[in-house]
Amino acid sequence: MGIILDVTDLHIEFHDHDLPETVVEDFDLMLEEGEIVGIVGESGSGKSMSALAIAGLLKRHALTKKGRIMFDGHDLLTCDRNTLRSYQGDEISMIFQEPMTSLNPVKKIGWQVEESLRIHHKEISREERKKRAIEMMDAVGLREPEKVYSMYPHELSGGMRQRVMIAAAMIGQPRILIADEPTTALDVTIQAQIVELLRKINKERNTAIIFISHDLSLIRQLCQRVIVMQGGNIVETGDVEEIFRSPKMGYTRKLIAAIPQINL
């Protein structure tokens, strides 16, 4: 096992308004190959901003980023655009809460699942792309993948759309999958299925996962290690069970207390 991602002192500041606003401060994250790490925190605590920075998806204007995001010997904050592009959506890929906003409504599912192969692996033929897309769609639990391949996003349920997003994120065999509240828009049963799918992907493909949620009980189901964020800062980090047993911060205790008893 080796360290594949090493984020140190990440700092993100917006300049949209007169005064700069710091939204992430001193964020550190070390990720081992094949590990699942959780990031938990109330809405607005800086989880998505940190994740987007790691995925290289923060727009370059109107914000300052400092620190280091080391991946594969490169600092993703300072490397050239081509290097960053070569990782984005291929070695490091991301899925979001609401697949409907990430999926293109007028493009067929198959086309969207294949996207990262079209961008990053031009050597792969059209037939091979389709074959891999259908295999991946099958692997994420989409029934009748050949049929779904030719469908449009609006023809699918929320849970199926999230599976499509996961297939699209996984087709390039990323080393890191960042899942930003991937189950928040789904009902509890489907939520459990998606968590199970992420666990399966991690186990079978050894993909490291950064799993983001405002729900500590979900994090506990999937992750061994968790980072607790509040107001742009990491307030606590460590083994999930350990944190459940003896949370050091009042904020963490509140997150634990917010979990409905039925989930425990």
Ligand X SMILES: Nc1ncnc2c1ncn2[C@@H]1O[C@H](COP(=O)(O)OP(=O)(O)O)[C@@H](O)[C@H]1O
Q: Which residues bind Mg ion (CB under 5 A)?
A: 48
Which of ligand X, Mg ion, none interacts with 164 (beta carbon under 5 to 8 A by kind)?
Answer: none
Min dist CB 43 to ligand X, Å, is 4
Strands of the 176-180 sheet, one edge to the other: 92-95, 176-180, 208-213, 36-41, 225-230, 233-239
The length of the chain is 264
Q: Identify which of residues 21 and 242 has a Cβ nearer to ligand X in the complex.
A: 21
Which of Mg ion, ligand X, none interacts with 44 (beta carbon under 5 to 8 A by kind)?
Answer: ligand X
CA distance 31 to 201: 17
Min dist CB 23 to ligand X, Å, is 3
Residues that bind ligand X (CB under 6 A): 14, 16, 21, 23, 41, 43-49
Which of ligand X, Mg ion, none interacts with 101 (beta carbon under 5 to 8 A by kind)?
Answer: none
Which of Mg ion, ligand X, none interacts with 243 (beta carbon under 5 to 8 A by kind)?
Answer: none
Which of ligand X, Mg ion, none interacts with 16 (beta carbon under 5 to 8 A by kind)?
Answer: ligand X
Q: What is the DSSP letter of 88?
A: B
Q: Identify which of residues 23 and 76 has a Cβ nearer to ligand X in the complex.
A: 23
Q: Identify which of residues 184 and 193 has a Cβ nearer to ligand X in the complex.
A: 184
Q: Identify which of residues 54 and 171 has a Cβ nearer to ligand X in the complex.
A: 54
Closest CA to 16 of 64, 56, 65: 64
Min dist CB 162 to ligand X, Å, is 18
Contact 169, 95 (CB under 8 A): yes
Which residue of the chain is nearest ligand X when measured via CB?
Answer: 48
CA distance 108 to 95: 18
Contact 22, 13 (CB under 8 A): yes
Which residue of the chain is nearest Mg ion when measured via CB?
Answer: 48
Exposed, middle or buried, 233 (CB in 10 Å: 0-12/13-18/19+)? Answer: middle
Min dist CB 206 to Mg ion, Å, is 26
Q: Which position has the token pair 């997003």? A: 165
